[in-house]
């Protein structure tokens, strides 16, 4: 636009109009590319899942009480002439418990003899002994009213000096009729990573 100042030469005003310099563009803001968004979203998702899983696991863990242990239809047959029954660990997601007690049976040989008979009466099958631990398993086929086959394993240790008995029991639901308690899958992995190590710790190994 021409200046209305009559004292300024017209040539200067025309020069001002024709001196058009490039306007500096604003600096571009740094943008996150799609793959960067994906990495951030993945990290956030993993963090949420880890926190959720930890909270869920804490909610599923519990310590079984002596009445709960005695009244169970799953493993109470392994509580024999007991005193000082104590729950150590239980999980409500993967059905499992660990407990200990002192038996009034005089010696280890008599205890194992009675235990073997009771186990057979309750349809438990003896497995090979490992590291002085007696192992039993029980497979229960599903029925019209039960959707899954059941596979159980129980491990029992006896400390002969004090006749202290430590028991760990875990149960798995299976769609296909299993031959043994699973070593893989949710229940098998949980038993391997949580139940058996806790059992060994409780029995002093």
Same domain, 149 and 56: no
Q: Are 97 and 87 in contact (CB under 8 A)?
A: yes
**Does residue 20 form part of some domain?**
no
Same domain, 109 and 49: no
Contact status, residue 98 vs residue 200, Cβ threshold 8 Å: no
The vertex-194 CA angle with 190 and 199, nearest 5°, equals 125
Q: Do 181 and 92 fall within a single domain?
A: yes
**165 plus 136 within the same structural domain:** yes
Instruction: Based on the fold, state whether residues 142 and 192 are members of the same structural domain.
Output: yes
Residue 42 is predicted with a pLDDT of 63
Residue 15 lies in a domain: no
* Residue 173 domain-assigned (yes or no): yes
Find the domain containing 42 and state its range.
31-61
Mean pLDDT by 10 residues, the chain (205 residues): 49 50 55 60 56 55 97 96 97 97 97 97 96 97 92 98 97 96 96 98 91
For residue 21, being part of any structural domain is answered with no
Give the pLDDT confidence score for residue 80 in this predicted structure: 98
Asked if residue 114 belongs to a domain, the reply is yes
pTM: 0.72
pLDDT at 51: 47
Which CATH number fits the domain that encloses residue 162? 3.30.310
Number of domains in the chain: 2
In sequence order, what are the residues at sequence separation of 6 or more whose Cβ sits closer than 8 angstroms to the Cβ of residue 85?
66, 69, 70, 79, 99, 100, 101
User: Rounded CA gap, 35 and 52, in Å?
Assistant: 26
Q: Do 39 and 104 belong to one domain?
A: no
Whether residues 67 and 57 fall in one domain? no
Do 43 and 139 sit in the same domain of this protein?
A: no
In this structure, are 111 and 169 located in the same domain? yes
- Whether 9 maps to a domain, the answer reads no
Cβ burial 158-190 (10 Å sphere, 16+ → b, else e): beeeebbbbbbbbbbbbeeebeebbeeeebbeb
Predicted confidence at residue 2, as pLDDT, reads 45
Question: What is the model's pLDDT at position 69?
Answer: 98
**pLDDT score of 55:** 43
Give every strand in the sheet of 82-91, ordered side by side: 61-62, 82-91, 96-103, 164-174, 149-159, 133-140, 125-130
Closest CA to 104 of 126, 80, 85: 80
Residue 133 and residue 164 share a domain: yes
Do 115 and 198 fall into the same domain? yes
Q: Are residues 82 and 125 in the same domain?
A: yes
pLDDT (0 to 100) of residue 145: 87
């Amino acid at each position: 636009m021409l200046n209305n100042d009559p004292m300024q030469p017209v040539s200067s005003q025309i020069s001002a109009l024709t001196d058009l310099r490039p306007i500096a563009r604003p600096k571009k803001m740094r943008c996150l590319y799609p793959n960067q968004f994906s990495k951030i979203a993945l990290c956030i998702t993993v963090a949420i899942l880890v926190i959720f899983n930890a909270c869920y696991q804490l909610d599923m863990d519990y310590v079984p009480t002596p009445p709960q242990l005695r009244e169970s239809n799953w493993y109470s047959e392994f509580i024999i002439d007991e005193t000082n029954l104590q729950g150590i660990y239980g999980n409500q997601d993967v059905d499992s418990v660990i407990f200990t007690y002192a038996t009034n049976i005089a010696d280890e040989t008599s205890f194992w003899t009675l235990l073997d008979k009771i186990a057979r009466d309750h349809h438990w099958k003896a497995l090979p002994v490992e590291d002085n631990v007696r192992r039993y398993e029980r497979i229960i086929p599903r029925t019209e009213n039960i959707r899954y086959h059941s596979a159980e394993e129980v491990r029992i240790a006896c400390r002969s000096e004090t006749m202290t008995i430590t028991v760990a029991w875990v149960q798995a639901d299976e769609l296909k009729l299993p031959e043994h308690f699973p070593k893989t899958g949710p229940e098998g992995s949980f038993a391997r990573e949580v139940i058996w190590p806790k059992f060994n710790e409780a029995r002093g190994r």
